[in-house]
Structure 1
């Protein structure tokens, strides 16, 4: 049997979302400086939002709420 899930940090999907966010920051670092408040910011916020939504959903009281997030 697999490892017991004790936290949202144990979820493979959350771990993958964190890798995506890190990759997004690394890639957007090379974007033009005039995009820092435009496309760069939007891409970074959306990438971080994925992991945050997974963590928030994990903390919900039932599976339906978790799946919704």
Structure 2
């Protein structure tokens, strides 16, 4: 399996829109997202994106 992710740092945060694969979509704080169980390798993808953006790691490391 290969995962591909894109990092975009927008100047304006628009409301997310759910696609055909989700009933709803919402922004959540990074710490909240990292504290949740994420599907597949999404936890690692989020941590890698934060590292690329220069954000210090959030505990706990999974």
* TM-score, with structure 1 as normaliser: 0.24
Higher helix share: 1
Q: Specify which structure has the bigger relative contact order, considering alpha-carbon pairs within 8 angstroms and separated by 6 or more residues.
A: 1
* TM-score, with structure 2 as normaliser: 0.26
